[in-house]
Amino acid sequence: MKGWLGNILRVNLTDKTFRKESFSEEFAKKWIGGRGFATKILYDELKPGIDPLGPENKFIVALGPISGIPAPNTGKAVVAAKSPLTGGYGDGNMGTYVSIHLRKAGYDILIVEGKADSPTCLYIKDDEVEFLPADEIWGKGTYDSQKWLYEKFGKQVGAMTIGQGGENLVKFAIVRSLEGRAGGRPGMGAVMGSKNLKAIVVKGTKDIPVADPEKMRKDGKEGMKEAYQTDKKIGWSKQATNGVLAWCNETNTLPVRNMRKTSHPDAWKIDGQRLDEARVATYGCPNCTFHCGITIHDSEKRESELDYENIGLLGASLEIFNLQDVGSLNYLCDDYGLDTISAGDVLAFYADAIDHGATEGDFKFGDAKRAIEILGMIAKREGVGDILADGSYRAALKFGNNSLDYAMQVKGMEISAYNCKFLPGMALAFGTSPIGAHHKESWVITYEISETPREAYSQQKVDKIIELQRIRGGLFEFIVSCRFPWVELGMDLNIYTKYFKDATGIDYTLDDFWKIADRIYSLMKLFWLREDPDWDRTRDYVPEVWFDPANADKEGPIAGKILEKDKYDEMLTLFYDARGWDDRGIPTMETIKRLDLEEEAKSLPEEAKLK
């Protein structure tokens, strides 16, 4: 087998053992890597109903056949587990040198099982594994933890760590790596914390065998050069992801005031131009030639690396229009190891719930000082922070008073920074995102606004959502590479079939990749169904407030416009039909057969039988 190492490192923290296992070429060709490997392994190895924060859950780092190989933006890793935030399959991808070092150590997959009896740092050096005490950094933030790791192991390693959020089992705690990299929105940091796993450090020194080394080197080098030159020409990284903030404000898609409003006159104060002007440094992921990590000094003069999602939710949605204050909230999320998207949505929900009398409290929109305090309470699970640490869905169930209607989440996971109260297609993209609302799966707003009638609930939009799910949530998540060369620079998708062939020798077409993407999406749905045999289509609905005419904009270009639930539901049916799923949103038997998932379907309980 070329491209893949063909090896899994399975570590048990309970009894401090490890073993090297191999996987077959058939497994590799069927699931490719990253999300594909993780979904299949978690589906096969986890018993339904297990506690995501118990020792039975497994934490996975999964790589792909081009991970770590010099080619555009391949320094990514997928982290995955059963999600404590949603109860379903959860994952995230992140830029990290673990990607390169784990492959150079000889592994495509790391599976961490059990629970250590004390804070532990897992150190993998080629074929050796050590379980080192991490008491010195337990209780510390990710910046101090990372510094400690670098002092102990040097900087020529791959390292992942969690902050106090993960230690205290905040359900939207993430895993951190490098200066500003984070991944695992559905609580992957909490899963590490539940295992007393403070950090993973990897040092690999071997070669990664590929089918055609010379061609891989040449194609990879050309791709990295093309990415660099294209970015220089079009200037994307000048404002990077936050360029979109001003555009969202213009198109009434910005999340303002817990997504009750779609634009704000002060939005310019936190837009891409202001971010670029405040820039003090720029960081990026391994093997990237157009770094997007624009870093500023926050209100305490600390370096804070910002992107649109952070600024949209910790800024606009909280009506905090001071970039340094947003920088401070972002810095603290990074240090505590909290997902900035969920943190912003949760804080906005809390302010909204107080505003609407659903609960009592002293937090108001625009209050950066109190937002900073509450973030700390969430990370340490103190006071109301203990409730908010469980995410907006569970907090809404506690607060009651119809507050669930405006908890901005789907399947328990908070919605990324796009206000879809009048964007039927993007709303459906969030609704059908298989891990809870996430922009990484499909993003159709430009298409929806510029190439279709915005108000349409159409097959055309459904087809675009699925096309992008196959690319973004499929290809880039299983081949494990950053989507930005394609999504932001417009590079040809066929470079990935080329790299795949260079690495593995296998001649897959994009259509082959789409089938694999569909297989993974369908297996994620089976994972949900096995957890909840009563699963129904309402789990793919977006929050009620987006259907509420009283929540329509009062003025501006989309005044009076709001999503219509019956039409959303009709479009959901179109989506299910196109995917070959039944009216619950579950793959039909015919689809199971077409996607070669018959073996997996056998483990479904009788009451959840397929149609």
Footprint of another protein (CB under 8 A): 233-236, 238-239, 241, 243-244, 246-247, 250-252, 271-273, 307-309, 418, 439, 443-446, 449-451, 454, 484, 487-490, 557-558
CB of 243 to another protein, least distance (A): 4
Q: Give the nearest distance from C-beta 556 to another protein in angstroms.
A: 9
CA gap 276, 268 in Å, rounded:
12
Contact 67, 33 (CB under 8 A): yes
Contact residues for 277 (Cβ-Cβ < 8 A; gap 6+): none
Give least dist CB 10 to another protein, A: 34
Amino acid (one-letter) located at 399: F
Q: Which is nearer to another protein, 234 or 397 (CB)?
A: 234
Minimum Å distance from CB 35 to another protein? 18
Minimum distance from residue 485 beta carbon to another protein (Å): 12
Nearer to another protein by Cβ, of 31 and 484: the residue is: 484
Q: Identify which of residues 245 and 479 has a Cβ nearer to another protein in the complex.
A: 245
Q: Which is nearer to another protein, 35 or 483 (CB)?
A: 483
Output 241 or 409, the one with its CB closest to another protein. 241
Question: Residue 377 or residue 487: which is nearer to another protein going by CB?
Answer: 487
111 bridge partner residues: 10, 60
Query: Closest distance between another protein and the C-beta of residue 283, in Å?
Result: 16
Which CA distances in Å does 281 have to 21, 303, 362, 441? 42, 8, 36, 29
Q: Which two tokens stand for residue 85?
A: 């935030």
Buried-exposed string 546-585: b where 16+ CB fall within 10 A, e elsewhere: bbeeebbbeeeebeebbbeeeebeebbebbbeebbbbebb
Residue 183 CB, nearest approach to another protein (Å): 14
CB of 440 to another protein, least distance (A): 8
Query: Closer CB to another protein, residue 154 or residue 556?
Result: 556
Secondary structure string (H, E, C) spanning 398-444: HHCCCHHHHCCEECCEECCCCCCCCCHHHHHHHHCCECECCCCCCCC
What separation in angstroms does the CA of 449 have from each of 287, 424, 426, 493?
33, 11, 10, 23
- Beta-bridge partners for 296: 304
Q: For residue 128, count other CB atoms closer than 10 A to its CB.
A: 10
Q: Which is nearer to another protein, 50 or 552 (CB)?
A: 552
First to last CA, the chain: 38
Q: How far is the CB of 557 from another protein (least distance, A)?
A: 5
**Residue with smaller CB distance to another protein, 273 or 460:** 273
How distant, in Å, are the alpha carbons of 77, 100, 281, 499 from that of 64?
8, 11, 30, 11
SS (H, E, C) 9-39: EEEECCCCEEEEEECCHHHHHHHCCHHHHHH
| Shortest separation between residue 491's beta carbon and another protein, angstroms | 11
Report which secondary-structure segment, H or E, holds 142: helix 142-153
What is the distance between the alpha carbons of residues 368 and 352, in angstroms, rounded to a whole number?
A: 15
**Residue number, 81 or 428, with CB nearest to another protein:** 428
